[in-house]
Amino acid sequence: MIKSQNLLTEVESKELLKKAGIPVIETKLARSKKEAISISKKMGFPVVLKVSSPDVIHKSDSGGVKLGLVNATQVGKAFSEIISSVKKAYPKAQIEGVSVQLMASPGVEVIVGMSKDPQFGPVLMFGLGGVFVEVLKDVSFRIVPVTERDASEMIKEIKGYPILEGYRGQKPASIPALQKLIIKVSQFVEKNPQIKELDLNPVFAYPDKAVAVDARIILE
């Protein structure tokens, strides 16, 4: 657990991103089991529940994430399990409740992030999600502000680019949608210098759009 006053919750982060015109998957905070069930009914199933706490950075490691919940009973049970296992892992964590979101249909997983370089200021990063970013470090960087050309180059620069174009029958990812998303993120961090770090991880890229499924914002 990292005690961080500066870590925004997923719901707060997505709220800010949405206002900035960055496509995010709709995510709502449920403070009780009852609320979690009624939100999921409105959204439709299957849903994903995640613990919402400014003190928990690695949500899934502490049992704070439940995927593919298909009905109200499962949602209720998941809510209780999340709260109890996070409390056990992080007894001092302040828990606001759980976030509820629709389980996104699978797309090509990418990551878009921002960190600050001591010499050049905010820098955007792009890469394919999962093993590509973690093990192969197949990512590209550009300094903010990022132009259309920069965004296009940073997408094409990664070695895994052919995967985005559609590989072995997998549907291609919309490059224009990713490009637009990167530019919006650049504008967003430029307007909000109080943001220290940002992670849209993963973003799901589809043939016609790209949507941030999880998001994290860390303030200065």
Partner 1 sequence: MFKEKLKELEPLFYPKSIAVVGVSSTSIKVGSVWVSALLSAGFPGPIYPVGSGGGKIFNLEIFPSLRLVPGDVDYVIVAIPRRSVLELLDDCIIKKVKAVQFFTAGFSETGTPEGYKLEEQMLEKARQGGIRIIGPNCIGLYCPEHKMTSLLGKIGETGPVGFISQSGGIAGKLIEIGIARHINYSKGVSFGNGIDLDASDFLQYMAADPKTKVIGAYLEGTRKGARLFNTIKEVAKVKPLVVWKGGRTEVGAQAAMSHTGSLASSAAIWSAMFRQAGAIEVNNLEELTDTLLIFQQLNCWQGTSIAIIGGLADGGGGISVSASDACLESGLRVPLLSLETKQELGKLLGEVGSILRNPVDVSQARGMANLFKAIDLVARDTVIDIILIQEDIDILSPIYGQKGLEEINEFFMELRNRHNKPVIIVLPPGSAEPERLQIEQKLLPASVPVFCSMERAAKAIYKLNQYSCWQEAK
Nearer to partner 1, 120 or 167 (CB): 120
Query: In the Cβ-directed half-sphere of 112, how many Cα atoms lie within 13 Å?
Result: 31
Cβ proximity to partner 1: between 96 and 190 the closer is: 190
Name the minimum Å distance from CB 160 to partner 1: 16
Q: In the bound complex, what is the minimum distance in angstroms from residue 143's beta carbon to partner 1?
A: 6
CB of 128 to partner 1, least distance (A): 16
Q: How far is CA 149 from CA 38, 111, 140, 164, 165, in A?
A: 44, 19, 14, 18, 18
140 or 192: CB nearest partner 1: 140
Check if the beta carbon of residue 219 is closer than 8 Å to that of residue 196: yes
Contacts of 210 by beta carbon, 8 Å cutoff, 6+ apart: 23, 107, 110, 173, 174, 177, 178, 180, 181, 203, 204
User: What is the closest distance, in whole angstroms, from the C-beta atom of residue 158 to partner 1 in the complex?
Assistant: 12
- Binding positions for partner 1, rule: CB under 8 A: 117-121, 123, 139-143, 149-150, 153-154, 157
The set of residues, in sequence order, having a beta carbon less than 8 Å from that of 169 and lying 6+ positions away, is none
Q: Least CB distance from residue 114 to partner 1, whole Å?
A: 12
91 or 118, CB closer to partner 1?
118
* Beta carbon of residue 134, minimum distance to partner 1 (angstroms, whole number): 16
- Concatenating the DSSP letter of every residue in 117-175 gives ETTTEEEEEEEESTHHHHTS--EEEEESSP-HHHHHHHHHHSTTHHHHT--TTPPPP-H
**Residue 86 near residue 63 (C-beta atoms within 8 A):** yes
Minimum CB distance to partner 1 smaller for 143 or for 218: 143
Handedness of CA 68, 74, 75, 77 (dihedral sign): negative
Question: Residue 138 or residue 199: which is nearer to partner 1 going by CB?
Answer: 138
